[in-house]
Amino acid sequence: MFESAEIGHKIDKNLYKTEEPVLREALLDAQYELKERGEFPVIILINGVDGAGKGETINLLNEWMDPRLISTRAFAAPSDEERERPRMWRYWRALPAKGRIGVLFGSWYTDPIMHRVAGDLKTAEFEHQIDEIVRFEKMLAHEGVVLLKFWFHLSKDKQKQRLQQLEKDPKTRWRVTEQDWQHFKQYDKFVSVSERVLRETSTAEAPWIVVEGEDANYRSLTVGKLLLKEMRKGLEAQSKEQVISDAAPLLPPIDNLQLLHTLQLDQEYSKKDYNEELEKLQGRLNLLSRHPKFNEHSVIAVFEGNDAAGKGGSIRRITSALDARQFAIIPVAAPTEDERLQPYLWRFWRHIPRKGRISIFDRSWYGRVLVERVEGFCKEAAWMRAYGEINDFERQLVEDGAIVVKFWLAISKEEQLIRFKEREQIGFKRFKITEEDWRNREKWDNYVCAVGDMVERTSTDIAPWTLVEANNKYYARIKILKTLCDAIEKALD
Amino acid sequence: MFESAEIGHKIDKNLYKTEEPVLREALLDAQYELKERGEFPVIILINGVDGAGKGETINLLNEWMDPRLISTRAFAAPSDEERERPRMWRYWRALPAKGRIGVLFGSWYTDPIMHRVAGDLKTAEFEHQIDEIVRFEKMLAHEGVVLLKFWFHLSKDKQKQRLQQLEKDPKTRWRVTEQDWQHFKQYDKFVSVSERVLRETSTAEAPWIVVEGEDANYRSLTVGKLLLKEMRKGLEAQSKEQVISDAAPLLPPIDNLQLLHTLQLDQEYSKKDYNEELEKLQGRLNLLSRHPKFNEHSVIAVFEGNDAAGKGGSIRRITSALDARQFAIIPVAAPTEDERLQPYLWRFWRHIPRKGRISIFDRSWYGRVLVERVEGFCKEAAWMRAYGEINDFERQLVEDGAIVVKFWLAISKEEQLIRFKEREQIGFKRFKITEEDWRNREKWDNYVCAVGDMVERTSTDIAPWTLVEANNKYYARIKILKTLCDAIEKALD
């Protein structure tokens, strides 16, 4: 992969002097248009061998364009807040908002490459991280992100020369560290690992661009022109904004036998049994949450269900068994402005708990394949790919030690009507019922269909759905608490 | 202060059973109204002696009310991201948004009290932290926050009994730690320090509420009823929303001699001198930014000025001397939704740099006393108190090691017209000129007046304003770079 980056590319000074101002103006122009339209972000990854001009390029980009609209992030050792979350959390945190340019010095590639070179990352895990990256970048591409992945290369001889050169000049000496020379010793291994990574991650959506780093003029113009080209391509593409598509009725299976129809929604459960069992289960949950090994895990509990199915009440039965310092409830409503400027899953990544903590999502990332699908708030392509993205997201959580439990609370259409009417009458419950609830109710059959698809596509071994028959609240709450306790117990074993 | 919390307050079981459901419903009702109106947040501080029911109370609040609208935060040792910022940063981070309830277990009081008890906080610094807290809470009150500060108290004997009791029961044994007994040994000192802190921080805006902790019924009803009372008071008060007041013309001094009028805006500076000096200063800045002691500081540079005065160009001359990984530029425009739900300064606290980093604010917190004042976007009382709040904010930054520099770039009205017209004609500059710029220009005299007041009230020894005569861009940029270098050099000395 690096052959054509060792052949001595060069741009002479005069040509550079002619081209640079033109390029610069065009970049600025594109940058302002990007900002004005605010439809997508640009992410530039800067990776490669030491001394190949990575730092200079970053500074140059900030000089050429309006630095107020660029955020540059370097990734040193993760902070403690980052270490207690999945590997990709810190990169989600660093994503630029739509309309802005994010320059990442080092990136999600740095860790797998460096650990592989150091020999402390097994093949399977290495492959796994690479796969994760490919899926992540695919998601970015689908979200409309313009992603440029630059790899700055120098041959071994040139790298040595370059480091020596930098060391000679008092103005640049500081830039060569002991670590650089350590890395130099591992040049061959580094290049071989990198080559493999680049090959496996050069996808149609996000190809690598290898840049020979020796000649600053060549390097700078190459980066600038490619950046301009991709920005213009993004700007000239069809506006990527989501349009409200026709909310066509969903097609049920031809025999109309739906998953939700197979549930026995009415379940016998007496108040007396409930009270006894509730106390036992809450005690069990409390003990589990204080188990010494609990601090190696986190719990992520997702609550979805029909309106008025009893999500709030079930959540309260869980939280009252817990120390309030330990949990956070995330009510999911319409995204805020900050959130709308990011890829879909960003607003959920924000709330991923640290180890030892519990996040309870009252509605969740499944909104995309439920309400957004049914109401036509997003295009079919967007909710279709959401299943895979969600599975990928949850896998990352589980692999990092999270215990993920997901509940669908199902009530019958008749039971819902009774509860809606009750809510309209009782004082402090009147806030719980809105026009929207009545509108959703009209689309009951479409939701039945969407839930069936959702469960089929996202109930995985590591993060299974639990369908909860919820016409009887007592039964539902007990089933939920029991499922949660079982899941935690299993993980602690 | 604790006398009446040692007299054995008690509520009998039957009375509690009658009152609790009524209180609970009223609290829920108030909570939903709080949410619906979204005008202010409620902050509940839970402090006091160990074993006095702090944890139980927090759990109870989450049980009584809708826990989805409550965020509970406990403060253990600060994370590394927190340690590198001013003391109050982590509390700003934890503030609940308008419409929500934040319960803080431990608070900004915990550290000063514990360190004072441990004997490692000198009197002057202790006093200083207390003053800081008083000002912070005053700001919260002005922002409409309903703040309840509960102190749970137990006499020494009762505390001992309580700890022993908890230890006896296997269900609660886990809650008594070695640390609790350590604290018990220091009971007298703890109570004496706390008493002083409570006395000095029981202000009209934010009085302490001391609650005897022994009897759970008494404790719970007391907290619940007071919370309800304050929430209702907040809800019934005049709507706190900012209204657009008449943007009355500002009154200039009677002789019309304004600070900005005393500047000699046209300054001689040749391009040749500029180029030479620029290179020198950028080199100097670069060296300073790599000085080993620089990592003990951060730099916060504020740019304000007339439209088209050259803020962007000046910022670029600074950043091009720096490593792009080291700085962030924060362009300040209208607040986002998340930001509008918080006290005014919250959106700036968000961007406070870690040690070794530089944050450059392109417009800043001074918006409140400039555009918001001139345009009448906020009430007089709000911008009037902003001067003090800003001084307090900047003092916290400087005390934490930040180097704060503030520039006002001044051009003449004639020069502005020339630049506006130029911007309208040049391709990539057309984004830089908007209708709003022309509107602002009509209020030129009001801005002159507002700037005069601003400088007078916020140019402090530790964070002085630098007025920059900016009709000549070369002169302005050099003055800015030089001022910045001098400030850093002084701090590193």
pLDDT tens digit string along B29-48?
Answer: 999 999 999 999 999 999 99
Of A66, A80, A431, the CB nearest to B32: A431
State the number of CA atoms in the 13 A half-sphere of A170 facing the CB.
2
**Structural tokens at position B492:** 């590193």
Structure-token match 């998601």, residue found: A139
Q: What DSSP letter does each residue of B147-201 carry, written as one string?
A: EEEEEEE--HHHHHHHHHHHHHSTTTGGG--HHHHHHHHTHHHHHHHHHHHHHHH
Q: Is A145 on the interface with B (CB under 8 A)?
A: no
The pLDDT of residue B253 is above 90? no
Please give the average per-residue pLDDT across A298-316, as a whole number. Answer: 95
The pLDDT of residue B259 is above 60? yes
Nearest Cα of chain B lies from the Cα of A257 at a distance, in angstroms, of: 35
Distance in angstroms (rounded) separating the CA atoms of residues A327 and A360: 7
3-class DSSP state for residue A83?
helix
pLDDT at A244: 47
Banded pLDDT at B243 (limits 50, 70, 90): very low
pLDDT at A381: 85
Nearest Cα of chain B lies from the Cα of A390 at a distance, in angstroms, of: 23
Question: Using CA of residue B222, residue B226, residue B232, residue B235, what is the dihedral sign?
Answer: negative
* Percentages (nearest 5) of helix, strand, coil residues in chain A: 55, 15, 30
Of B36, B74, B338, the CB nearest to A336: B338
Q: Mean pLDDT in chain B?
A: 90
Residue B66 CB-density burial (10 A; 0-12 exposed, 13-18 middle, 19+ buried): buried
Banded pLDDT at A243 (limits 50, 70, 90): very low
Distance in angstroms (rounded) separating the CA atoms of residues A485 and A491: 10
pLDDT at B403: 97
pLDDT at B167: 87
Radius of gyration of chain B from Cα atoms? 27
Please give the average per-residue pLDDT across A96-120, as a whole number. Answer: 94
A59 to B29: CB separation less than 8 angstroms, yes or no: no
Number of neighbouring beta carbons within 10 Å of residue A226: 15
Contact yes or no for B100/B41 (Cβ under 8 A):
yes
Please give the average per-residue pLDDT across A412-438, as a whole number. Answer: 82
Share of chain A above pLDDT 70, in %: 96
Task: Express each pLDDT in A324-361 by its tens digit.
Answer: 889 999 999 888 888 999 999 999 999 999 999 999 99
A362 to B80: CB separation less than 8 angstroms, yes or no: no
Number of neighbouring beta carbons within 10 Å of residue A319: 24
Distance in angstroms (rounded) separating the CA atoms of residues A300 and A45: 31
Please give the average per-residue pLDDT across B232-248, as a whole number. Answer: 64
β-bridge mates for residue B206, sequence order: none
Contact yes or no for A297/A491 (Cβ under 8 A):
yes
3-class DSSP state for residue B459?
coil
Structure-token match 């730690």, residue found: B177
A253: alpha, beta or left? (left if phi > 0; alpha if psi -120 to 50): beta
Name the least confident of A236-250, B80-94, B243-257, B304-318: A236-250
Q: What DSSP letter does each residue of B70-90 carry, written as one string?
A: EEEEE--SPPHHHHTS-TTHH
Banded pLDDT at B248 (limits 50, 70, 90): low
Contact yes or no for B336/B350 (Cβ under 8 A):
no
The pLDDT of residue B241 is above 70? no
Task: Express each pLDDT in B347-395 by its tens digit.
Answer: 999 999 999 999 999 999 999 999 999 998 888 888 988 998 999 999 9
Distance in angstroms (rounded) separating the CA atoms of residues B156 and B6: 10
Of A316, A325, A428, the CB nearest to B63: A316
pLDDT at A257: 77
Predicted TM-score of the model (pTM): 0.80
Name the least confident of A144-153, A202-211, B297-306, B394-403: A202-211
β-bridge mates for residue B404, sequence order: B300
Nearest Cα of chain A lies from the Cα of B56 at a distance, in angstroms, of: 9
Distance in angstroms (rounded) separating the CA atoms of residues B267 and A35: 35
Nearest Cα of chain A lies from the Cα of B63 at a distance, in angstroms, of: 6
Please give the average per-residue pLDDT across B162-169, as a whole number. Answer: 87
Estimate the crossing angle of helix A187-201 against helix A123-142, to 10 degrees: 50
Distance in angstroms (rounded) separating the CA atoms of residues A278 and B207: 40
Contact yes or no for A180/A50 (Cβ under 8 A):
yes
Q: Mean pLDDT in chain A?
A: 90
Residue B29 with chain A: CB contacts under 8 Å: 427-428
pLDDT at A428: 58
Distance in angstroms (rounded) separating the CA atoms of residues B369 and B378: 9
Nearest Cα of chain A lies from the Cα of B25 at a distance, in angstroms, of: 7
Nearest Cα of chain B lies from the Cα of A23 at a distance, in angstroms, of: 12
Of A35, A58, A67, the CB nearest to B316: A67
pLDDT at B78: 87
Of A59, A105, A324, the CB nearest to B72: A324
3-class DSSP state for residue A429?
helix
Q: What DSSP letter does each residue of B378-395 carry, written as one string?
A: S-HHHHHHHHHHHHHHHH
Q: Is B192 on the interface with A (CB under 8 A)?
A: no
Name the least confident of A180-184, A303-307, A370-374, B207-211: A180-184
Pairing verdict, β A101-105 and A70-74: parallel
Q: Is B295 on the interface with A (CB under 8 A)?
A: no
Q: What angle do CA B269, B273, B279 make, to 5 degrees?
A: 125
Q: What angle do CA B367, B368, B373 make, to 5 degrees?
A: 110
Of B319, B324, B428, the CB nearest to A29: B428
Helices and strands in chain B: count of H runs, count of E runs: 20, 10
Task: Express each pLDDT in A263-287 by its tens digit.
Answer: 999 999 999 999 999 999 999 999 9
Structure-token match 């209208």, residue found: B334
The pLDDT of residue B292 is above 80? yes
Q: Closest Cα partner for A331 from A465, A444, A460, A431?
A: A431
Question: Using CA of residue B438, residue B439, residue B442, residue B447, what is the dihedral sign?
Answer: negative
B431 to A316: CB separation less than 8 angstroms, yes or no: no
3-class DSSP state for residue A244?
coil
Compute φ and ψ for A79, nearest 5 degrees.
Answer: -75, 170
pLDDT at B12: 92
Give the contacts of A437 (CB within 8 A, at least 6 positions apart).
Answer: A307, A308, A420
Q: Is B283 on the interface with A (CB under 8 A)?
A: yes
Contact yes or no for A323/B59 (Cβ under 8 A):
yes
Instruction: Give the containing element (helix H, strand E) for B291.
Output: none
Please tell me what DSSP assigns to residue A375.
Answer: H
B428 to A32: CB separation less than 8 angstroms, yes or no: yes
Q: What angle do CA B23, B26, B30 make, to 5 degrees?
A: 135
Question: Using CA of residue B175, residue B179, residue B185, residue B191, what is the dihedral sign?
Answer: negative
- The separation between CA B381 and the C-alpha centre of its own chain, rounded to angstroms, equals 18
Chain A residues 12-41 within an 8 A CB cutoff of chain B: 25, 28-29, 32-33, 35-36
- Alpha-carbon distances of B477 from A206, A291, B455, rounded to whole Å: 40, 61, 20
Nearest Cα of chain A lies from the Cα of B427 at a distance, in angstroms, of: 8
**Structural tokens at position A451:** 């839930």
Q: Name the E strands within A261-416.
A: 298-305, 327-331, 358-362, 402-410
B320 to A62: CB separation less than 8 angstroms, yes or no: yes
Please give the average per-residue pLDDT across B71-80, as a whole number. Answer: 87
Of A61, A67, A79, the CB nearest to B315: A67
Residue B81 with chain A: CB contacts under 8 Å: 79-81
Task: Express each pLDDT in B475-492 by its tens digit.
Answer: 999 999 999 999 999 999
Distance in angstroms (rounded) separating the CA atoms of residues B58 and B76: 16
Give the contacts of A278 (CB within 8 A, at least 6 positions apart).
Answer: A317, A477, A478, A481
Q: Is B94 on the interface with A (CB under 8 A)?
A: no
The pLDDT of residue A385 is above 80? yes
Please give the average per-residue pLDDT across B424-447, as a whole number. Answer: 80
Please give the average per-residue pLDDT across A122-148, as a whole number. Answer: 93
B68 to A329: CB separation less than 8 angstroms, yes or no: yes
Banded pLDDT at A172 (limits 50, 70, 90): confident
State the number of CA atoms in the 13 A half-sphere of A413 facing the CB.
12
Give the contacts of A448 (CB within 8 A, at least 6 positions apart).
Answer: A252, A258, A260, A261
B35 to A431: CB separation less than 8 angstroms, yes or no: yes
pLDDT at A427: 60
- Alpha-carbon distances of A390 from A241, A394, A448, B281, rounded to whole Å: 21, 6, 20, 51
Share of chain A above pLDDT 90, in %: 68
β-bridge mates for residue B303, sequence order: B362, B407
The pLDDT of residue A247 is above 60? no
